[in-house]
Structure formats: C-alpha cells, structure tokens
Chains A and B, each alone.
Chain A
Amino acid sequence: MTERGLVIAFQTTTQALAWERACRERNMPGRLIPMPVAISAHCGLAWLAEPEDRESLLEMAEELGLGYDLVVELEGGEADG
C-alpha cells in the first residue's frame, strides 16, 4: 500500500517543522509523516493532508514565505511487487 492524499514534501527537516508550526498556529489540517517512497526514495518528512486542502495550505505557504519542495496528490493503492 502507499499513502493516499495531498503530500507536501520538504527539502529540510527545518522546513517541515516550520510548516507544522504554522499549521498548528492557524488550525490548518494535516500532519507530518515520513516521506512517502512513492514521491521520493530520499528520507525526510512530508505533510499529509486532504486534496481539498491544497489551496488553503499553499496560500498559507505563500503568505508566510514557507519553503517546500513538491506538492503531490497520491491515489493510494497496492505497492508494486
């Protein structure tokens, strides 16, 4: 199985924690998860939210100047192999 939902990947742990802090302060949805391998085999953290939260999360990021790497919607499903 792979994750399902809106996944925001970060370049650094610090970016991820800044994102979490901002979301908590603004009551925005989502949580930190390990970087899904479906997005990147690199290690690190990612933010998991619902696809419908994309706009509000990215607006927040722009307003606060929060850094991130990628925004990907994962469909979920069985992992290969």
Chain B
Amino acid sequence: MIYLDQAATSYPKPPEVVQAVTEALIGAGSSGRGAHELSLAASRLVFAARQAAAEFFGCGDPSRIAFTANATESLNLALFGLLEPGDHVITTAQEHNSVLRPLFLLERRGVDLTIMPADRHGIVDLDAMRRALRPATRAVVLSHGSNLTGNLLDLAWVLEFCREHDLILILDAAQTAGWYPYNLADQPIDILCFTGHKALYGPQGVGGIYVRPGLSLRPLKVGGSGVQTFSRQHPGEMPEALEAGTLNTPGIAGLAAGIAYVNKLGLDSIRRVEGELTSFFYKQVQEVPCVQVYGDFQAAERLPIVTLNIEGVDSSLVSRLLAERGICTRSGGHCAPLLHEALGTAQHGAVRFSFAHVNTKEELAEAVEALKSIVQVCGGEKDD
C-alpha cells in the first residue's frame, strides 16, 4: 500500500506514539480525579503533554493550552466562545467547514460575516481585508494552510494587519501544526486551533487550543473538572475552563509522543523532505495529458499537497482506481465548499495526494505511473 492521504491523517503513526498510547492505557488512570498512583500518573502525563505543546508552539505558559478532541472542536470553542451578535468577522473562501459552518450558524444568530474570495488557483487576495474592515470588525479567522490546495496564507501580513486594527486572530492550524515553525512569543496569534493526528503524528481524537493571556472564551461544555465540586459554575481558570469532562489521556500521551517525534526529526528536515516530494510529484503530474493541477505552485512555500483532476473523469472514480492499485488518496469534496467553487471543482470534486516525510520518491513515481494508466483507461472510456 502507498499511503498518500497524509493531510487526512498521518500514517503510519511512529512506534513511539503507539507505545505512549499503550503505556497510558496500562499505567494511567483519570487525570485530575483523585491522588492515587494511577490518577497522579495520568495528571503528570497530561501536564507534561501540555508543557510539551506550550514549548512546541513557543507560548511559555502551559495553562494557556487546553486539550480538545480535534481542530473542529477547538474552532467551535473559539468562534462560539468569542463572537457576539453585532460583531463582524472576516474569513476567507479557503476555509474548511470546521470554520465555515460555525460561522454560518453564528451569522444566523446576528454575527456579520465577510468572506474574502479566492481566485481559480485558490489564492486569496489578503489586501481585500482592508476593504472588508468595519467599525464592528472584531476578529479574523482563517486557515493558515488549505487542506484542498496546500496554499498558505501570509501569516506575517495577517498578524500585522490584526495588530494594526486591533483584531483578534483565530488561526486554524489543522494542516500546519507540526509543519510550520510557530513561535507564539514572536507571532502574537490570539487563538491557535490545532489537531494532533495530522502533522503532529498523534492518534485521532486529540487536539488543542491556545488562548492568549487576557482573552477568555465561553466554554462550549461545562461539567466535571476535578476541582471546585460545590460551585454551581464551571471553573474559569485555564485550562480547566475549556476542558469539562474526562480527558483523553491515552490520546494526549500519543500527542506528546508525536510532538517529541517531530522535535527529534526537526521541522526544517521534515519540511525539506516534504517539499522535495511535492515538487517531484508536481513536476511529473503536470506533464500528464488531461491532468489539471490546482493551487499556487509559484509560491515560495506550500503544504505537501497536490490536488488534481483528470479531465472529464469523476474524482471518485480516479481515487477508486488508484486504490485498486494500492494507492490511497482522497477524492470528492474536501469540506472546503467555497474553495471548490473558486477552483471550478464543485461538480466533480478533486483527487488529493498529500505527502509526509515518510513517503518516498519511488512511491510517488509509482503513483504517477498509476495516474498515467488511469488517464489511458478513462480516456478510452470517454472516447467510446
């Protein structure tokens, strides 16, 4: 099997991640619930993971990182926890449904929304943010990197814009956490939402949210916290304020091991290998007849994603034929409806190849050959 669906979830998980999850299942109880050996083991494990995440993102204070189930939960927390009727928020057409659907729901509740368009390469003109500004503009929410095209937004520009206009920046780092070298000490992102199971190599079902000091969010859920039992209100102190219910201790253990794995390899090294793989694949597929590649490949940097279609062929058929050749990709819509519209792929979807440093050029060359053979087969079918 050749796994080229790394943007969906990284695979295979590093052995140390598997080991950490197993060890947590064997040796840890419920974090923050009691003070016996197993409970303390879980609490220590969660705290160490919080510290590892804080160091990884350069935020200094571990209590500003709350663990969630995934980036979607983190984004829901940020958007529903922050925005009020009458607020104006700016986003882009590049967004995933994990941003768009909460925003559309909030729009029905009285939040004003401006969506900056993308062109046919998926490129968002950030300068349009200046025209979108209103007195009521409170926040900017955007995905740093597109899960569909792999295009990146210019974070430095956005940070400066938000600073200049005193806007809260909510960054969806679902695709970029574990790939982009965030340093919150230098990059004053107000809220960073991440998942653990993509470029951080952890298990599915764990993610997190960073909330800068001085900013508080209304929690999405309240309940058990391990502290302040007799208070009728959920604790307001971070991170427990955003962590009602029993934590996913094995998942958090796996996330910590994933962060350690990324640290061990080094972000620079990972990005270099993945960049080479992406260029190698892109150069070959763009020369295949009838193949159309989407996204901005002139940019200085991009995520290791190449999304394409074979002219006149449903992406689902291409992906199915690739799977029959042992090549795993994702087809159809990619939960980014406005970007599909911009790319002109709303009808047929698109086939996404996404890479990680564990992939090889030999695997990618095999995928290119498979794609060529599908072009021949489907071209023949189309002619009939």
Residues of A within 8 A of B (CB): 10-18, 20-21, 32-34, 41-45, 67
Which residues does chain A contribute within 8 Å of B63, judged by CB atoms?
Answer: 12, 14-15, 18, 67
Q: Are B228 and A14 neighbours in the complex by a CB distance under 8 Å?
A: no
Residues of B within 8 A of A (CB): 31-35, 40, 43-44, 46-47, 50-51, 62-63, 225-231, 235, 237-240
13 further A-B pairs in the complex, CB-CB below 8 A; given A16-B43, A34-B34: A12-B239, A13-B32, A13-B226, A14-B47, A14-B62, A17-B47, A18-B47, A18-B63, A21-B47, A21-B51, A43-B226, A43-B228, A45-B32
In the complex, the 9 A-B pairs of residues with the closest C-beta atoms, listed nearest first: A17-B47, A13-B32, A44-B227, A34-B35, A12-B240, A43-B229, A42-B229, A12-B237, A42-B228
Shortest distance between the CB of B280 and any CB in chain A (Å): 45
Tell me the complex Cα distance, A11–B233, Å.
13
**Interface SS, B side:** loop
Tell me the complex Cα distance, A13–B237, Å.
10
Tell me the complex Cα distance, A41–B51, Å.
29
Which residues does chain A contribute within 8 Å of B32, judged by CB atoms?
Answer: 13, 44-45
Tell me the complex Cα distance, A13–B244, Å.
12
Q: Are A11 and B235 neighbours in the complex by a CB distance under 8 Å?
A: yes
Which residues does chain A contribute within 8 Å of B240, judged by CB atoms?
Answer: 12-14
Chain B residue, CB-CB nearest to A10: B227
Tell me the complex Cα distance, A42–B32, Å.
13
Which residues does chain B contribute within 8 Å of A11, judged by CB atoms?
Answer: 227-228, 235, 237
- Report which of A18, A32, A33, A42 forms a contact with B231, defined as CB distance below 8 A: A42
